[in-house]
Each structure stands twice: as structure tokens, then as C-alpha cells.
């Protein structure tokens, strides 16, 4: 069987990678497979990614988790109204181990990434709020930024620099 593309699908806030058993490097930062002239990165954990963005050079698609601090702050500020005593603590803690859309954009720009895909979006939002969620990301990264949705499919044909995006659920 000849492999002709790498397929990545975003399903229910998780990224599922169909990689046909090809070798990949798994590190604390993420998964960095490459095949047939295409590279992509599944990144996470803010501090690790920021310190290792040079390892992303040449990546066609960077998949990165993202949290919008200003929106989380709004939730934290109202957490006292919640019957859950842990909500304020959680909303205080999570920004320290997630990446803002702006920081993900800086990482993508610094590494020369062709396409940035944000997933594991916090807080979860309807698409109408995507522009608000992205904040100033476009100031730091001029390339395409996609907020991952359930059913999205990213295809990277081998020996080609094209990136095809479609949603299987629409």
C-alpha cells in the first residue's frame, strides 16, 4: 500500500491522528511526525513549546491548545456565585498551564509555520465568538489561524506543501 497523505481529524475537542503506523517522535512537547515532505506538530504545554519553538521550523501545520485569559478571568471573577467552591481555584490555575492564542501565534510566526490550528479551546465557545477568542493573534502571525471544530479534517498530501481543510460534519 502506498501512502499518499497524512490525515488529521479534530473530533470532540481531541485531535485524532491517523498516521498509518509511520514513525513519529513523541516528546513532552508533542508529536512531530513527518512523511513525504510534510511536517506537522501537535503541541501543548505553554512553557515547553515557547522554549522549543526552533524545533518547529519547517512545520506545515502547528496544532496547539489555547486558552483566552481575558475570558477565563471573566469566569473567575464570577466564580463566587457558583455553588462549586473549586471553580475559582480552577479558573485561577488553568492559565498557568495553557497558551493564549496570541502566544500560540508568536510561536507559529517564530517557527515559520504555514498554518496554525488551535484546539482544546478554553473556555469552550460558539463560533460567533471566535474573533473575540483570537484577540490580537493576527498581530503576531499573518498566516491562517483555524479554531478547530469537531469533524475538521486536515490533509497534507505527500511531496506537496498544500494543506487541505474540510469539515466532515458539515
Write the Ramachandran bin of 56: left for phi over 0, alpha for psi from -120 to 50, otherwise beta: alpha
pLDDT digits (tens, 9 = 90+) for 114-140: 889 998 899 999 999 999 999 999 999
Q: What is the mean pLDDT of residues 39-51?
A: 46
Report strand pairing: 115-122 vs 5-11: unpaired
**Average per-residue pLDDT for the chain:** 74
125's CB contacts (< 8 A; 6+ apart) are 71, 133
17's CB contacts (< 8 A; 6+ apart) are 7, 8, 9, 31, 33, 42
Retrieve residue 124's grid coordinates: 469552550
Instruction: Give the residue with greater pLDDT, 102 vs 166.
Output: 102
pLDDT for res 7:
44
Q: What is the mean pLDDT of residues 21-28?
A: 36
Q: What percent of the chain has pLDDT over 70?
A: 66
Q: What is the mean pLDDT of residues 49-68?
A: 69
**By mean pLDDT, which of 29-43, 74-88, 115-129 is the weakest?**
29-43
Instruction: Give the residue with greater pLDDT, 27 vs 164.
Output: 164
Amino acid at each position: 500500500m502506498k501512502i499518499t497523505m497524512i490525515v488529521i481529524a479534530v473530533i470532540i475537542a481531541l485531535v485524532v491522528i491517523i498516521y498509518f503506523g509511520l514513525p513519529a517522535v513523541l516528546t513532552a512537547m508533542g508529536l512531530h511526525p513527518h512523511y513525504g515532505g510534510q511536517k506537522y506538530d501537535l503541541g501543548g504545554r505553554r512553557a515547553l513549546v515557547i522554549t522549543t519553538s526552533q524545533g518547529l521550523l519547517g512545520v506545515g501545520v502547528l496544532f496547539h491548545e489555547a486558552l483566552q485569559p481575558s475570558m477565563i478571568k471573566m469566569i473567575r471573577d464570577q466564580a463566587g456565585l457558583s455553588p462549586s467552591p473549586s471553580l475559582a481555584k480552577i479558573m485561577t490555575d488553568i492559565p498557568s498551564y495553557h497558551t493564549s492564542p496570541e502566544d500560540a501565534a508568536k510561536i507559529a510566526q517564530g517557527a515559520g509555520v504555514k498554518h496554525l490550528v488551535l484546539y482544546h479551546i478554553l473556555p469552550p465557545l460558539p463560533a460567533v465568538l471566535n474573533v473575540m477568542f483570537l484577540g490580537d493573534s493576527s498581530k503576531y502571525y499573518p498566516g491562517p489561524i483555524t479554531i478547530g471544530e469537531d469533524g475538521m479534517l486536515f490533509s497534507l498530501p505527500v511531496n506537496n506543501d498544500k494543506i487541505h481543510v474540510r469539515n466532515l460534519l458539515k
